[in-house]
Each structure stands twice: as C-alpha cells, then as structure tokens.
Chain A
C-alpha cells in the first residue's frame, strides 16, 4: 500500500466513523435515498452514498441571480466536469462548494449543500473548517512568492498549525502531484523559479497536503501549454482514485478526456447532467447538443 492509499483509507475510516454510515456499502440508504436525485443516470449512480449532494443551490452577486437553483449529485472518487459558455455560472457554482463565493462583497448563496450528508451552508458551519475538507485549485498558478517549494506545499499545515511530519507529507503530496522528481533537488528554492505547469502542480500538491476529501479545480489548465495540460490531466486521472473532483473547464475536449460525468450550465441554470459520453454524443436537451457540437458558446 502506498502512503497515498493509506491516507485515503484512513480518511475514509474517519468519515464513516463521523457520519455513522460506512462509506462504501452497496445499497446504503444515504440521506437522499428517499428522493432519488433528478439528474443522475442509474448507470453512474454508484449506489454508494454520494459525496456531494446539491439541492436548489442559488447564488447572487448583489441583486443579480447568477445561479438559478442547481440540483446535482457527485459520487465519491469520480470526476464531475462543469462546462458551459462564459458567464453561465459554472465558476460561481464551483466557488459555492467551498464557500469562497461569499467572500466577494455583496455575494451570497442559499440552498442545500451536503458533504457526506452533512450540511455545509448552515450558519453553524465554519467555512474555514469546510475549506480544509474541500480544497481548490485555481485558474492561474498562485504559489506563495515569499515561500520555498517546500514551504508552499506545507503552507496549509503550517498556517493552520497542524502538527505532523511535514517532510513526509511534502514528499508524498509532491509525488501525488507528479512533481517530486522535478523538484526534489530544489525544495528550498523559491517557488517562482518553477515553470507555469510545475507551479500549477505545486498548487495541486499544496491543496492535497491538507488532506481534503473533495478537490475543486477552476480551469486548472487554461493558463498552461499543451504538455503541461496533458500532465495535469493525467494527474486528475490518478487523483480520482482517492479524491472526489469537480472541475470547471472551457475546453470540451478536456471535459471529455478527464470526467466521468459532465454538467452543462447555461445562463445560470443547470441544463443537463449525465455520463460524459452521453452528454457529448447523445444529450437529451437540444441546447446541450448545440453547445457540445460547437453551434454556440
């Protein structure tokens, strides 16, 4: 068992203890079992308890309603891609999932957001604690410029005062992010000396170091060249063994390559969600078809 797998197993054990429901039981009656989620096709609903359940999620910027009630279920250890034209609300959706949305002045959201059946939008939930469970990778690589490669990876642990074997976690997460071989000899150099693609994988390692359960990725490859993009995509394939991933992308080929399910957003509404292959070859809604075949967007 690799250290990464060990960590994942440990995390699962913790979560199942916490919720009192075994995480990987076949027909487990999760909280949503009574009302089957509307959009998920039976073939992909893993019959596991869903990792994320989103119901009637709405988000505002001031008076503007940017997300008009989204219902979505994300099974554990899978990749959900959110696609759609600019301004369709897919990034807003992503930023609601770790409550980064509400940090903008005048922005707010409501609805139900369940992580392992636990409500995340409630007033009693501390967004700071939530963000340790739901990590995020941003569009542009944003390593901390004053810190070394090593300190960047350990930043989440250090800043949160988590006592652990930082050295071991740094190596493990850098290996997970497929960056270890490239940076193992320059751990104490500035993170700004890395290339853009390496910086982005460093940011992924940094997000993984705090051991999140869900990883949100906001167009993680849009600022990268094709080779670096391919590396990040390979990485996503490996990461989904242990993590639940929600990725926003402008690039439909990318969505097709990396995701198990695809959600198509348009004008603040979730038009259609289903297995990626179905969305790209035989979608139910004509709008989805027009978008994925390039008729608009």
Chain B
C-alpha cells in the first residue's frame, strides 16, 4: 500500500487537473458571451426589434423582419416536424422492438448526422426547384428535416422512461392498448417531450446553412409561406460578410438577439423539466 502522503498528493493532483478542465471548457463559452455582449449592446434599442433593415449608408434600422421571419420558419418547421417526430417516437417506443424499429432507428441516426447544408440542398431540390421560387415553406421544410430525428429519439427515450408498472396498471383496468399508450403513457411522458420540443425548436432557430438557398432573405416584412423570407441567422450572415462597418455592428447586435431568443427557449425547457422532476418526487 502506498503512503498516505502519496495518495493525498494524487487526490490533489486530479482534483486540480479536472478543475482546470472545467475552466478550459468554460473559456470559449464565456469569451463568446463577452464578445457578443460587448459588441452587440451598443446598437441595441427598441427600434432594432421593430424596424426593417436600413439601406447602406443610412443609420438606424433593425431586424424586425428577421425576427418575425425566424418565428415563421420555426412555426412551419414545427407544424411538419412535431407530428412526424413525436409520432415516430411513439411508434419506436411502443412497437419498435423488431426489425422495422431497428431500421427506423438506424435511419434517424443517419439523418441526424447529415450536415445541415446537405439538408438545405434537399429542401432546395424538393421545394424551390418545383416552385421556381425561394420560400419560407422550403426553409421550414429544411428545418423540419433537422428536427425530426432528434424529436423522434428523445420522444422514444422519454416514453421508455415511463415505468412499465403504469402501463400494466392501465391495461389491468381493461383499458385497450392504444388508449393506454395515448392517455397514460404519453401523458406521463408529456413533460419530457415538451422539453425535447423546446430544445429542438431552439436548435432550428439557430440554423443558417439550410436557409441560405431555401428561404433566402427578404428586405421587407413577409408572412406569406410561398415568398422568400428573412431570418435572423441569414441576416447575421449577410451583415457579417458585407464590407460595411455599420453592418458589422448590426451583425453583432442581431447575434445578441438570436442568443437571447435561443437562451430563453433553453431556460424555459430547463424550468419545465425541473418542475416535472419536482412533481415526480
């Protein structure tokens, strides 16, 4: 047996080493937050949320249409992805023990590994090519394709977390299987599924690549699904690659707005899942 001093030294060493790992992991996150906050707050004003982008050379203006566009895109994406993703998750959890289930699980894994730019090309081929026009619909479809696999897998996992005893309790009362799945099992897993939906929405809201050649961009307000639509992310991209100093500042501010939006969704998911755990206790 090694001496006590040596063992205390080893203990100390690894405590310090793992602590240093934590610090290193936090550096990029904190510097990102610092950079966005310090560069982005200067232009932040109410009009930034409510106004259209100003032309080059003019001061002022905002990304109001981008915020609205992001909401429109996410709404279209959710309308497609939620029923498909949650439905697939329920199927995988309830009937997915055979070969079909394994095949679906494999496909969702492959799909979630597909780079988002490739998803964008697929949406371009499926919608933009046929409609001969960039549109919010195409962008929403691209985002939906990104959301479906994660939604399906997390729905499946949350449903599998529901104790089998609850399912048995319901079946033993003479409740048919499908009703047991919907009204007992799914209801018990609902809190977790809501969290998963919010996280998927937050991720979709932050995507740029699949929108570049699907929803494109728009200098004006738009709520028509068949028209090109602005989004915060593409706006940031356009501002950032422009040669104008003023636009660079606006890119930072728009980035801050996006960060706040995504952060809010994550926070909401956190609060909801915590409430659920307290209720379960």
Q: Please report A residues at the B interface, Cβ cutoff 8 Å.
A: 98, 100, 103, 105, 128-133, 135-136, 138, 140, 142-146, 155-156, 159-160, 190, 192, 203, 206-207, 210
Contacts and interface: CB of A to CB of B under 8 A. Distances in A.
25 contacts: A98-B172, A100-B171, A100-B172, A128-B174, A128-B175, A131-B171, A135-B173, A136-B172, A138-B165, A138-B172, A142-B163, A142-B166, A143-B169, A144-B166, A144-B170, A155-B170, A159-B170, A159-B180, A159-B183, A160-B173, A190-B279, A192-B279, A192-B281, A207-B173, A210-B173
Nearest to A136: B172
Given A105-B97, A159-B183, A145 B166 contact: yes
Given A130-B174, A155-B173, 20 more contacts: A100-B171, A103-B171, A128-B174, A129-B174, A132-B174, A135-B172, A135-B173, A138-B168, A142-B163, A144-B184, A145-B279, A145-B280, A146-B188, A156-B173, A156-B175, A159-B180, A159-B184, A160-B174, A160-B175, A203-B169
Given A142-B163, A192-B280, A131 B169 contact: no
Contact of A100 (B97, B168, B175): B168
Nearest to B164: A142
Interface in B56-114: 97
A131 B187 contact: no
Contacts of A140: 165
Contact of B174 (A131, A144, A146): A131
Contacts of B172: 98, 100, 131, 135-136, 138, 207
Contacts of A142: 163, 165-166, 168-169
A203 B170 CA distance: 11
Interface of B: 97, 163, 165-166, 168-176, 179-180, 183-184, 187-188, 190, 279-281
Tell which of B165, B166, B168, B173 has the most Cβ of chain A within 10 Å.
Answer: B173
Contacts of A128: 174-176
A278 B29 CA distance: 75
Contacts of B280: 145, 192
A109 B188 CA distance: 31
A139 B167 CA distance: 14
Contacts of A129: 174
Nearest to B190: A146
Contacts of B171: 100, 103, 131
B166 A156 contact: no
Nearest to B162: A145
B35 to A, nearest CB: 44
Contacts of B183: 159
Contacts of B165: 138, 140, 142
Contacts of B166: 142, 144-145
A71 B211 CA distance: 69
